[in-house]
């Protein structure tokens, strides 16, 4: 199971430490909860989420009269899983049954945006959909070429202009091409500079305006790509992009490369945004839908 393998680092740190704690304490007491808090915070679960989680655990322990840590461990899994599944209904990518689906992909340079677009294109193609990519990052040197490399790998075409040109114009052309070819899914790359929030906001607004004018109801998804290895930085980025545009979901990349997979919980809980996909490696197949049960049980088993 790729998802479970991808979580190996987090499992080894966070879950192994929780298991160890459970064995060491045997009896549930205040010190036990304090150490548990420390472990979860160091796995980047996020302070607020941890405090709430531990409160819930204490409540459960009280109402169910749980005295043994071994018993409480099952409750940890249960409470974590409940926290993640609360809003799971919107975890799927909103693909239209009829007509063109437009997906806008945003995120800071280096988080794995291009790789994710390539993997998504491949995935949709495998599912029998026709896909087109729009090279909307006209700002970063090499971004267009890099997207073309992924387009080739995935076997899909890329609509592009020259570096430095207007991203909204590229995306307009891509929409026209997608419509005339009867394409199912158009995935649009965007520039990932955060240095100037006002510019970022303006650019994203303009791009979105073009999309919604040409395709009513679109963009159907605005996916924010975050790098799990950056921990709380990812949270900051999510807040900034959340203010700049209406983000509909998160793609969390590099989950395979971090012991801080607890960030999934922080994102889900503190930002109230669904984690829709997770990146579990550099290869074209290494993208999976996020499944909270597999995530939580994968962490602790
Ligand atoms: P961009 O600047 O956001 O477009 O980032 P890229 O797509 O170029 O990715 C940056 C680096 O992260 C590359 O070396 C990718 O191979 C790597 N990368 C992207 N996604 C993943 C992932 O899920 N797991 C791992 N281990 N590496 C990834």
Lookup: tokens for 291: 């499944």
* Phi-psi category of residue 250: left, alpha or beta, with phi > 0 → left and psi -120 to 50 → alpha: beta
Q: Quick check: helix, strand or coil at residue 77?
A: helix
Residue 198 to residue 201: CA distance in whole angstroms? 5
Cβ(256) – ligand 1 distance below 6 Å: yes
Ligand 1 geometric centre to CA of 213 (Å): 32
pLDDT tens string 128-164: 999 999 999 999 989 999 999 999 999 999 999 999 9
Residue 197 to residue 48: CA distance in whole angstroms? 26
Closest CA to 133 of 170, 80, 165: 170
Residue 35 to residue 90: CA distance in whole angstroms? 34
pLDDT tens string 9-38: 888 888 889 999 999 999 999 999 999 999
Q: Which residue's alpha carbon is at the smallest distance from atom 20 of ligand 1?
A: 112
Lookup: tokens for 19: 């298991």
pLDDT of residue 89: 55
**ipTM > 0.85 for the complex:** yes
Cβ(112) – ligand 1 distance below 6 Å: yes
Atom of ligand 1 nearest to the CA of 150: 7
Are the C-beta atoms of residues 278 and 290 closer than 8 Å to each other? yes
Q: Which residue's alpha carbon is at the smallest distance from atom 6 of ligand 1?
A: 112
DSSP H helical ranges for the chain: 2-6, 8-10, 16-25, 30-42, 47-63, 69-85, 113-126, 143-154, 167-181, 197-214, 232-244, 263-266, 292-300
Ligand 1 geometric centre to CA of 24 (Å): 39
pLDDT tens string 217-263: 999 999 999 999 998 899 999 988 988 889 999 999 999 988 888 88
pTM given for the model: 0.92
Ligand 1 geometric centre to CA of 91 (Å): 22
Cβ(137) – ligand 1 distance below 6 Å: no
Atom of ligand 1 nearest to the CA of 286: 23
Lookup: tokens for 240: 């900034």
């Amino acid at each position: 199971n790729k998802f479970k393998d991808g979580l190996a680092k987090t499992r080894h740190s966070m879950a192994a430490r929780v298991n160890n704690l459970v064995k060491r304490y045997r009896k549930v007491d205040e010190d036990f909860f304090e150490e548990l808090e420390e472990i979860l915070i160091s796995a980047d679960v996020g302070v607020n989420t941890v405090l709430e989680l531990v409160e819930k655990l204490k409540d459960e322990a009280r109402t169910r009269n749980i005295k043994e840590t071994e018993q409480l461990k099952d409750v940890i899994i249960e409470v974590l899983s409940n926290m993640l599944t609360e809003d799971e209904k919107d975890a799927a990518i909103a693909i239209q049954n009829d007509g063109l689906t437009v997906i806008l992909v945003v995120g800071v340079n280096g988080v794995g945006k291009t790789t994710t677009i390539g993997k998504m294109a491949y995935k949709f193609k495998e599912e029998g959909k026709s896909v087109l990519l729009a090279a909307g990052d006209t700002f970063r040197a090499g971004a267009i070429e890099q997207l073309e490399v992924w387009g080739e790998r995935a076997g899909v075409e890329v609509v592009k202009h020259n570096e430095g040109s207007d991203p909204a114009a590229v995306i307009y052309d891509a929409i026209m091409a997608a419509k005339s070819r009867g394409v199912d899914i158009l995935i649009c790359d965007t520039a990932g500079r955060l240095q100037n929030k006002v510019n970022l906001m303006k650019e994203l607004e303009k791009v979105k305006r073009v999309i919604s004018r040409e395709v009513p109801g679109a963009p159907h998804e605005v996916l924010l790509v975050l790098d799990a290895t950056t921990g709380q930085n990812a949270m900051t980025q999510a807040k900034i992009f959340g203010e700049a545009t209406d983000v509909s979901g998160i793609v969390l990349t590099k989950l395979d490369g971090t012991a801080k997979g607890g960030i999934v919980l922080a994102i889900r809980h503190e930002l109230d945004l669904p984690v829709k996909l997770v990146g579990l490696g550099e290869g074209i197949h290494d993208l999976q839908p996020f499944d909270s049960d597999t995530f939580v049980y994968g962490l602790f088993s």
